[in-house]
Structure 1
């Protein structure tokens, strides 16, 4: 599904609670604790049509409500970290993001509604000072099982495939989308690993020796590039 950065789509939004008003560390995208603090905790779970089996993880949206005079003009700018649907909603916002829908002093009114009419549009993600990185997911087990997740993914491009180079076979091996934004592969190649990924279903970007031979669970590896 394509979204113009100029046009808004009408929908509904609600919120989920957390003690710190941040995102959830158990989101369906697999970001773990990073997903609770990403974008200052202004994150959201989205409906199936926006989640897109995990392809929509990491996408950014501008969401604003439609209850004048309570709603702010800009609303909230959120990053997708989870999948979830409420009462005909496309967004389940963190408390911090839901609070941004209101003008100062009016948030309590919006919270009392529980669900609000909104409009949203896809916008480019921005991470000033950060390149795209691949993190070795917490589920990885060296050296027999490697799972990766992309973080600080800017722009509006989507990663639709990830492959690792198997030197002894002279072929690219496809990683499986395990769930959300997590890609995995049992018995990964030995030595430093060349990785390539497909952007929005067409362009391939190759990264040589991105993952070192002694990769570690939880480590992040800088691609030195950023997406558009």
Structure 2
């Protein structure tokens, strides 16, 4: 590569980075907490939150992936086929004798689906039946706003930006010809609406939504350095994470970008 082409490449990189940074500031500046809405909340698992590990979003061990116990499973109406994975909510107990006084709210991340229970009435056990809006919280998160003996409490909730430490993480599954990627630790809107992968020997390849927070590409990407481009459902902001995974990448490993939504 000549010095001229190297300088040109660097200039293009910094130009794209500058445009993305400006776009990020303009877009996220418009993403403010939503208004408060009414719903109900229950809890599942115990104080250790061990029953909340895994989940429909595919985040695996929530302690090692950074989500901890401040999480919730969403009813189908909120889950949106997995596109709501990673979104953040403030939840406060509302007008119940079981509410803790002096607690304005707690913040949780959506990591799981609360499935319908059609054998129970929607107002008596089938709390997550459509079209109900419901949060089934990890017990430690529920216990921040109400006494666990309540079982179920009315709440107010609102969408808020996700504040994350570190870069976006890409957990690889599949194989060299079918790349399945779980996207974690997403800031800003917290969600992923579209995703693309680019190998060092390919152009951008559109990835299809698999389930939860996972996207897939049916392409021969083995032995190539991989970059990713993702767009948030909420903010419509798009960022490019260059050279996230080295050419000797492997499934079962997680790679972290050095950037995030804010």
TM-score exceeds 0.5 = yes
Larger Rg: 2
User: Between Structure 1 and Structure 2, which shows a larger proportion of strand residues?
Assistant: 1
Task: State the distance in 2 between where 1:166 and 1:36 align.
Answer: 28
RMSD: 2.6
Q: State the aligned residue count.
A: 215
Task: State the distance in 1 between where 2:216 and 2:140 align.
Answer: 32
Task: State the distance in 2 between where 1:35 and 1:3 align.
Answer: 28
Residue in 1 aligned with 2:203?
A: 171
Match of 1:120 among 132, 154, 157: 157
Q: Is the 8 A contact 2:209 2:215 kept in 1?
A: yes
Task: State the distance in 2 between where 1:21 and 1:199 align.
Answer: 28
Q: Which runs of 5+ in 2 are unaligned?
A: 1-29, 116-125
Residue in 2 aligned with 1:180?
A: 212
Residue in 1 aligned with 2:105?
A: 75
Task: State the distance in 1 between where 2:245 and 2:69 align.
Answer: 29
Q: Which runs of 5+ in 1 are unaligned?
A: none
Cα shift readout 1:94-118 (whole Å, capped 9, x = no counterpart): 100110113xxxx2xxx22211100
Residue in 1 aligned with 2:251?
A: 217
Task: State the distance in 2 between where 1:96 and 1:188 align.
Answer: 43
| TM-score when normalising by structure 1 | 0.82
| TM-score when normalising by structure 2 | 0.72
Task: State the distance in 2 between where 1:23 and 1:4 align.
Answer: 32
CA shift at 1:90, angstroms? 1.3
CA shift at 1:36, angstroms? 8.2
